[in-house]
């Protein structure tokens, strides 16, 4: 499949040059060929066969009803529930868990005729910035397998970057779609919070999590977003606002738009190659007719500490249900308390344990007001600063990550790892839409450009990203051919 887009594959299907079953088989072969470096966790064989057959019938019998995703193969992150397919959230504590239902976002893709082929690796319970926290081993970056693909949705980013599938699904709690997209040189879109239902997503931090796509083009991201977006009564945080048409707005360009450049996002800490690539991208947007305006988001420096109080607190509450009694790993001991302790002690990895302890502390008696309540107040300040910025500009543009993909094992202390998301997590705290698109290379590794928009202005974000993408060659760049690998992956 190489770099064929959804639109290109759809054209092949409609001409009769390929069938959904053939495309799914090609994707499976491609995924198997990169399994040593970019392993998926499992294949969805029975579901793949059913969906490919259904898509073929739609294309043959009612082609006018076939949308752009009908017959297109895809992969999805191991935190999204599909009935009858194991979902482990990258954790030993859920290994073997078979969901009894399918989440809304996945169901809407199935209804659109898309064909799932595989479940991708991720950091355990979506907690990490490198995909090194998975209980089932790390994933390599297709541009350099010795480096990380980013996290937590690193597996989903890697399989699209490597050309195995045209799109995949990830989740973004503090940058877990946009940062891997930046590291792997693909498009990664985090919609407005509440725009896509979280029903069927194994929660990390419920007020921050959002499902979104990795794709080879912004147009493809628009198609996948449109298929999944919309109100869902089963998700109390789902927005009831009508979904704005997206695809037809992509071609409007940025002529006459005012794009804000956050001063704090271009400050010290950016690698020189990242700064150079982003500055060139900003100059290109200006050539396309946009006016660049410097803006300030002064609470940015407080975003990291705010996030790492709120997210672990919600994680602590959400993961309390992983008790070894109702589902997943069960370590039997004489008392119920010992069963809980042993099951969670053996089932959770070190990063998950760290965040549970941080969150439990922040929510504990005597510390709730000092930490969690105060963090929520700062979160409100961050959101208000974004709102004020959008009074004078249409969208914000910045680096996605201050660095390019780093070597595996390079970020051994938690703080250095957490700092990788410093430019993405404020967007989650404010519930805004954001996308990362390729904007250059630094030392042979991809650099990402981030576009951020006001709440529910997902179409505007995609419009800006599409204008830049179509005027530059970076989205067409492919990783170098993967080296031959022998032996068992680490």
What CATH number has the domain bearing residue 235? 3.90.1300.10
Does residue 378 sit within a domain?
no
Residues of the domain holding 236: 6-261+391-476
CB atoms within 10 A of CB 185: 30
User: Kindly report the CA angle at 169 between 166 and 174, in degrees rounded to 5?
Assistant: 130
Q: Check: CB of residue 44 under 8 Å from CB of residue 85.
A: yes
| Strand spans (E) along 162-220 | 167-171, 187-190, 211-215
Give the per-residue pLDDT at 431: 98
**Residue at 272 is within a domain:** no
Q: Does residue 444 form part of some domain?
A: yes
Site of tokens 């409007």 = 252
Instruction: Count how many domains the chain has.
Output: 1
The two structure tokens encoding residue 458: 């997902």
Whether residue 311 is contained in a domain is answered as: no
φ, ψ of residue 328 to 5 degrees: the values are: 75, -160
So what's the pLDDT on residue 490? 37
Question: Alpha-carbon torsion 149, 150, 156, 161, what sign?
Answer: negative
In a domain, 298, yes or no: no
pLDDT at 485: 46
Map tokens 């690698």 to a residue. 271
Asked whether residue 358 is assigned to any structural domain, the reply reads no
Is residue 187 a contact partner of residue 437, using CB atoms and an 8 Å limit? Answer: yes
Beta-bridged to residue 449, according to DSSP, are 399, 437
Buried b (16+ CB within 10 A) or exposed e, 374-383: ebeebbeebb
Residue 111 domain-assigned?
yes
- The token duo for 266 is 């271009």
Instruction: Give the CA diameter of the chain.
Output: 70
243: helix, coil or strand?
Answer: coil
Residues involved in catalysis: 77, 152, 176
Residue 489 counted as domain residue = no
pLDDT values of the chain reduced to their tens digit, one per residue, 490 residues? 578 999 999 999 999 999 999 999 999 999 999 998 888 899 999 999 999 999 999 999 988 889 999 999 999 999 999 999 999 999 999 999 999 999 999 999 999 999 999 999 999 999 999 999 999 999 999 999 999 999 999 999 999 999 999 999 999 999 999 999 999 999 999 999 999 999 999 999 999 999 999 999 999 999 999 999 999 999 999 999 999 889 889 999 999 999 999 999 998 889 999 999 999 999 999 999 999 999 999 999 999 999 999 999 999 999 999 988 888 888 988 898 889 889 999 999 999 999 999 999 999 988 888 899 999 999 999 999 999 999 999 999 999 999 999 999 999 888 888 888 999 999 999 999 999 999 999 999 999 999 999 999 999 999 999 999 999 999 999 998 866 544 444 3
What pTM was computed for the model? 0.95
């Amino acid at each position: 499949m190489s770099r064929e887009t959804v639109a290109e594959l759809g054209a092949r299907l409609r001409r009769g040059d390929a069938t959904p079953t053939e495309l799914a088989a090609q994707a499976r072969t491609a995924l198997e060929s990169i399994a040593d470096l970019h392993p998926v966790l499992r294949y969805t064989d029975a579901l793949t066969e059913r969906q490919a057959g259904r898509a073929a019938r739609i294309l043959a019998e009612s082609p006018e009803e076939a949308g752009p995703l009908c017959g297109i193969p895809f992969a999805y992150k191991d935190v999204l529930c599909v009935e009858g397919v194991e979902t482990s959230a990258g954790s030993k504590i859920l290994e073997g868990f078979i969901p009894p239902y399918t989440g809304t976002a996945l169901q809407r893709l199935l209804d659109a005729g898309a064909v799932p082929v595989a479940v991708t690796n991720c950091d355990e319970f979506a907690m990490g910035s490198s995909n090194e926290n998975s209980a089932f081993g790390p994933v390599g970056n297709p541009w350099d397998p010795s480096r990380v693909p980013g996290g937590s949705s690193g597996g989903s980013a890697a399989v699209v970057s490597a050309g195995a599938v045209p799109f995949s699904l990830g989740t973004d709690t503090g940058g877990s779609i946009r940062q891997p997209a930046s590291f792997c040189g693909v498009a990664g879109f985090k919609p407005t919070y509440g725009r896509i239902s979280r029903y069927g997503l194994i929660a990390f931090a419920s007020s921050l999590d959002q499902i979104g796509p990795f794709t080879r083009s912004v147009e493809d991201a628009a198609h996948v977003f449109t298929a999944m977006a919309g109100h869902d009564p089963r998700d109390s945080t789902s927005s009831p606002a009508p979904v704005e048409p997206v695809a037809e707005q992509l071609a409007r360009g940025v002529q006459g738009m005012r794009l804000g450049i956050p001063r704090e996002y271009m400050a010290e800490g950016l690698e020189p190659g990242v700064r150079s690539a982003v500055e060139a991208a900003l100059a290109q947007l200006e050539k396309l007719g946009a006016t660049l305006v410097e803006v300030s988001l002064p609470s940015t420096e407080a975003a990291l500490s705010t996030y790492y109080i709120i997210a672990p607190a919600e994680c602590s509450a959400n993961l309390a249900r992983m008790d070894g009694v109702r589902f997943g790993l069960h370590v039997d001991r004489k008392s119920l308390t010992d069963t809980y302790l042993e099951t969670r002690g053996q089932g959770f990895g070190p990063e998950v344990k760290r965040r549970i302890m941080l969150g439990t502390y922040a929510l504990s008696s005597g510390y709730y007001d000092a930490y969690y309540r105060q963090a929520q107040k700062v979160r409100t300040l961050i959101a208000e600063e974004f709102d004020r910025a959008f009074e004078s500009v249409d969208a914000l543009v910045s680096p996605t990550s201050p660095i390019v993909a780093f070597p595996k094992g390079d970020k051994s202390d938690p703080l250095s790892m957490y700092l990788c998301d410093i430019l993405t997590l404020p967007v989650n705290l404010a519930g805004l839409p954001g996308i990362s698109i390729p904007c250059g290379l630094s030392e042979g590794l991809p650099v990402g450009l981030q576009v951020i928009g006001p709440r529910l202005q997902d179409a505007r974000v995609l419009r800006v990203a599409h204008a830049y993408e179509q005027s530059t060659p970076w989205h067409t760049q492919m990783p170098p051919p993967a080296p031959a690998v022998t032996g068992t992956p680490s």
